[in-house]
Amino acid sequence: MKMQRLFSGLLAFSVFASAAAAEVVRYKIDPVHSGIDFRVRHFINMVPGAFTGFEGEIHYDKENPSNSKAVATIDIASVNTRNEDRDKHLQQDDFFNAGEYPKMTFESTSWEPAGDNIYTVTGDLTFHGHTHPVEMQVQFLGEVEGRGVMRSGWRGTANIDRTKWGMDGYTAFIGTTIPVELNIQGHRMDD
């Protein structure tokens, strides 16, 4: 009987220790060392663009990725296609309508392993008054310490069909499927 209690106690301790070892690590996105880039077909070539104003967090559980989460907010006014007139036009009613919808938001709803440190991340993307799910391929590039801060690296790709968010103008010469690439550095936040 004593042996059985001892075994049960060791088993309970082992389960507790495993649970304690698995942790959700929180990273705050560093916009200075990160980028949100996109490309849009204009007639036959691809025109590059980016959003330069954004913030967010990644909550990462490597042992149990389904516990992971990512949230981000992007300032529509920060769109930069290297042409001031075009950037102003993109903020008008026939595109982002930044006066009424100044922010774009993303909140993940699931993380599924898709390879070594690679995940299929699904989440709700909201802009222009609409919310729809998007799927991204996300790679965790690793973690390194620099200047007293633990920094993580992430790369993500997605294809966004702009017409689903009500941006369906100029389809004769402007592409509707927008390839997006995220290159993110996150700073570990110790609670």
Measured CA to CA, the distance from residue 178 to residue 173 in angstroms comes to: 13
In this prediction, residue 22 carries a pLDDT of 63
The range of the structural domain enclosing residue 126 comes to: 23-189
Structural domain contains residue 96: yes
CATH number of the structural domain spanning residue 128: 2.40.128.110
What's the pLDDT at 8? 47
Dist. CA 121–CA 155, nearest whole Å: 12
Q: What is the pTM of this model?
A: 0.87
Identify whether 15 is part of a domain. Answer: no
**How many C-beta atoms surround the C-beta of residue 103 within 10 A?**
14
Which of 14-46 are b and which e, b meaning 16 or more Cβ less than 10 Å from the residue's Cβ? eeeeeeeeeeebbbebebeebebebbbeeeeee
In the predicted model, residues of the chain with pLDDT beneath 50 are 3, 6-21
Q: Is residue 6 part of a domain?
A: no
pLDDT tens figures, 111-126: 999 999 999 999 999 9
Residue 30: φ, ψ to 5°:
-95, 100
Residue 3 counted as domain residue: no
Residue 5 lies in a domain: no
Q: Does residue 178 belong to any structural domain of this protein?
A: yes
- The answer to whether residue 2 is domain-embedded is no
Q: How many distinct structural domains can be found in the chain?
A: 1
Summarised one tens digit per residue, pLDDT across range 157-186 is 999 999 999 999 999 999 999 999 999 999
Does a structural domain hold residue 46?
A: yes
Give yes or no for a contact between 175 and 139, defined as CB atoms under 8 angstroms apart: no
Q: What pLDDT does residue 1 have?
A: 52
